[in-house]
Homo-oligomer: A and B are copies of this chain.
């Protein structure tokens, strides 16, 4: 017996909403931002084979679909409020939906982010989430604020998600424990919400690393009208990644994608406050370079020698 559309919404996705005046089940969801706050909105669409593998556990997919959206709020320093979910499914698969909803709603609960509406339809598997947060007016972290002389930082570690993808692709092999560690980075990224909030008033610019460090940093540099020097050997990476040849280390950290860490800039006089923000959020924070007035992105190694950028950023319309 198959569930119809309305039963499906009711069974898996209707929850009591507390923040929203009206949640799933009317034409619109209704809610309000607090006085003095701006709404921060981001929308991400996930497609099978491009953003996730068909073999991913449904609960992990539910987690990741929301995590990549929350990561955009983190990069703006916004506090999560609510989200909508639009879902195209080839068929009603209750095992899939049960797992997907569990993973999705567990992460939503962890960040106080309420499901307030959405849409379900039949079609090739596609997950589109739009997330809403709030940030005090004028205090959002933007891509456009980096200043010459700023330090350049990244949260957490880079490259494990790409490493896992290369194992799935058969380009590399890892033993079981190592593979599980990097697979978790790929399938269960943790949006850096608390850290993003801590960076308000401290960072001059921020972006989350979704398409690879070089590409995403490039957006900051273009928007800010500045350049940067990045110390490629300083990029934070796991022991698993460190055990691999240098080429893989650089490929995965510089142009891996799917990291969902925050890259941000802050003036040198804020270095101690940046370190403190990392401690508060229980997150490793690494200085990886600095911002220059001269445009362009220069990569240097531990000995100060130039590294040629042959890595490229991820583009959804390039192979």
Contacts and interface: CB of A to CB of B under 8 A. Distances in A.
A100 interface: no
A24 B48 CA distance: 25
Interface stretch (A119-127, A177-185, A233-241, A268-276): A119-127
A43 B84 contact: yes
Interface string A307-319: 0000000011110
Contacts of A28: 40-42, 72-73, 75-76, 78, 133, 140
Given A5-B316, A47-B121, A38 B30 contact: yes
Contact of A315 (B6, B84, B137): B6
Chain A contact patch, size range: 35 or more
A128 to B, nearest CB: 4
Contact of A117 (B8, B41, B47): B41
B317 A132 contact: no
A32 interface: yes
Given A22-B142, A26-B143, A142-B22, A122 B39 contact: no
Contacts of A29: 40-42
Interface string A19-62: 00110011111111101011111111111111100000000000
